[in-house]
Amino acid sequence: MKTRERILLTSLKLFNENGEPNVSTNHIADEMDISPGNLYYHFRNKDDIILSLFMQFEKQISDALEAPTARALNMEDMWLYLHLVFESIWQYRFLYRDLDNILMRNRKVRLRFKRILERKIRTAVAICNGLVDAGIMHATTEETEALANNIAVVATYWLNYQRIRTDKQEENGDIGRGVYQVMTLVSPFLVEEMRHLLYRLSHDYLE
Amino acid sequence: MKTRERILLTSLKLFNENGEPNVSTNHIADEMDISPGNLYYHFRNKDDIILSLFMQFEKQISDALEAPTARALNMEDMWLYLHLVFESIWQYRFLYRDLDNILMRNRKVRLRFKRILERKIRTAVAICNGLVDAGIMHATTEETEALANNIAVVATYWLNYQRIRTDKQEENGDIGRGVYQVMTLVSPFLVEEMRHLLYRLSHDYLE
DNA sequence: GTCTATAAATGGATAGAC
DNA sequence: GTCTATCCATTTATAGAC
């Protein structure tokens, strides 16, 4: 494997494990048994590494956000879709844990992250409208708008929230809970029949 | 004013403005025109300052969380209650912006913050149960549980979320939007009459 | 209580040899 | 591409005089 690739892989691992602010370029080089100078041959600086990792993340989550707008979704599709979103966040969780800091320092990442967030919201609106059109959901425009924001907030911050509550540092078992939690946002707007279906689905899903 | 007090006030201001990781003890001393040595006479280290600020925050938000469990709430009460919670968060927003980092470093703050979070959830459950008992809300135990978590997530992270979306750094005008957003979580579980009341209330409230 | 001076450590980054 | 050596800036923190 190329050194550049290894730097990205090692950085991602260390960032996720220890938090981005607690991982210096020296740490990364050390962990890989290369020299700091070598690292700086491949990346201009630490933010450059973060930007590269972010672009990997961006590509991955973009693919996940693509699918549901292409066609109408049924309930099972939505689980899968949300699962993919949560998987991406989990994989690059260091970004979300120090979001404010990272976005503050890094203009490029800030602009692009904003775009992803807006896209999340628009995707949520599109899905809801699809459900309303299909007659299995009832909501006014205003309700849909507020709902989409709530979906975006919970999807964005659920893993942070869960991490504070349950002290266990790793384990991604919370993804299922995150998906469930987002679904409970939509649930009360569904027609009764669908609400029950969702209820059964979620109990299967969470074992 | 005592120097110790001034250090806390200045730290809070700088932390909120520039982000806690970007404010060193030297910056704080500098801004106050005192020497770093003087600052360290009053506080053992930076985390000690953060702990003191956190305890101020804890006291303030504890008061806010006290009220609603004492008695049943009507809709107007809930706006006020949520407003107080958001005000506290806004005032100590630096904590929330670098939450993961701060909690990771500081065991005491972590344990106490966790307690506050649990209390937020329990308060939300209590309020919902009150509304159900009063017959103006319909929700199963499971729905209430999920709802309380969603309330906690949105209340905790709304200001962070809003800050990313709208680039303007300061201005607390988003508090009203935060309260509204939390209310939209509860709204679909209310009986129709109350839902309409809430709708009217929120439109008055947000001008 | 407050200041000056300074130690000790760390992190980001570069120059130049190989 | 990679390493060694090193520089510079910053940060935390303390000792000791006033």
Q: What is the pLDDT of residue B119?
A: 96
Q: What is the pLDDT of residue A168?
A: 74
Q: What is the pLDDT of residue B72?
A: 67
Distance, CA of A128 to CA of B66 (rounded, Å): 37
Distance, CA of B149 to CA of A181 (rounded, Å): 8
Report yes or no: A155 and A86 within 8 Å, Cβ to Cβ.
yes
Instruction: Determine whether A1 is exposed, middle or buried from the number of CB atoms within 10 Å of its CB (0-12, 13-18, 19+).
Output: exposed
Report yes or no: A65 and A153 within 8 Å, Cβ to Cβ.
no
Q: A99 vs B160: CB contact, 8 Å cut-off?
A: yes
B190 φ/ψ angles, rounded to the nearest 5 degrees: -80, 155
Phi-psi region of B147 (alpha: psi -120 to 50; beta: other; left: phi over 0): alpha
Q: Which residue has the tokens 């899968």?
A: A80
Show residues of chain A in contact with B157, CB under 8 Å: 153, 156-157, 160-161
Element (H, E) at A15: helix A3-18
Amino acid at B133: D
A185 at B interface, C-beta within 8 A: yes
Q: What is the pTM of this model?
A: 0.96
- Smallest Cβ–Cβ distance between A100 and the set B97, B113, B156 belongs to B97
Give helix B25-32 / helix B46-70 axis angle, nearest 10°: 80
Q: B153 vs A154: CB contact, 8 Å cut-off?
A: yes
Task: List A residues 113-142 in contact with B (Cβ-Cβ < 8 A).
Answer: 113-114, 117-118
Q: A184 vs B146: CB contact, 8 Å cut-off?
A: yes
Distance, CA of A99 to CA of A190 (rounded, Å): 33
Show residues of chain B in contact with A97, CB under 8 Å: 100-101
B160 at A interface, C-beta within 8 A: yes
Q: What is the pLDDT of residue A167?
A: 79
Nucleotides of D under 7 A from a protein CB: 1-6, 10-16
- DSSP strands (E only) in B63-206: none
Phi-psi region of A168 (alpha: psi -120 to 50; beta: other; left: phi over 0): beta
- Smallest Cβ–Cβ distance between A189 and the set B103, B154, B188 belongs to B188
Distance, CA of A42 to CA of A48 (rounded, Å): 10
Distance, CA of A30 to CA of A153 (rounded, Å): 37
| Nearest protein residue to nucleotide D6, judged by CA and C1' positions | A37
Interface test with A, best of B18, B20, B93, B99 (most A CBs within 10 A): B99
Q: What is the pLDDT of residue B170?
A: 64
Task: List B residues 13-52 in contact with A (Cβ-Cβ < 8 A).
Answer: 19, 21-22
Q: B184 vs A146: CB contact, 8 Å cut-off?
A: yes
DSSP state of B166: S
Q: B100 vs A104: CB contact, 8 Å cut-off?
A: no
Domains of chain B: 3-42 (1.10.10), 53-206 (1.10.357.10)
- The CA-atom distances, in angstroms, between A113 and each of A35, A144, A146 are 32, 23, 21
Distance, CA of B76 to CA of B194 (rounded, Å): 11
Nearest Cα residue to A4 out of A39, A35, A44, A47:
A39
- Which nucleotide shows the minimum CA-to-C1' distance to residue A35? D3
- The CA-atom distances, in angstroms, between A96 and each of A79, A93, B93, B97, B99 are 22, 5, 17, 11, 11
Q: What is the pLDDT of residue A170?
A: 64
Distance, CA of A142 to CA of B184 (rounded, Å): 10
Q: What is the pLDDT of residue A43?
A: 98
Distance, CA of B46 to CA of B23 (rounded, Å): 10
Distance, CA of A98 to CA of A105 (rounded, Å): 11
- Which nucleotide shows the minimum CA-to-C1' distance to residue A28? C11
Distance, CA of B48 to CA of B25 (rounded, Å): 11
Nearest Cα residue to A56 out of A88, A17, A16:
A88
Count other Cβ atoms within 10 Å, centred on residue B122.
Answer: 14
Task: Give me the residues of chain A with pLDDT under 50, please.
Answer: none
Show residues of chain B in contact with A184, CB under 8 Å: 143, 146-147, 150
DSSP per residue over B108-119, as a string? HHHHHHHHHHHH
Tokens representing B197 are 């009341």
Q: What is the pLDDT of residue A135?
A: 93
pLDDT along chain B (207 residues), means of 10: 96 98 98 98 98 98 84 80 96 98 97 97 93 94 98 98 85 87 97 94 86
Cα A72–chain centre separation: 22
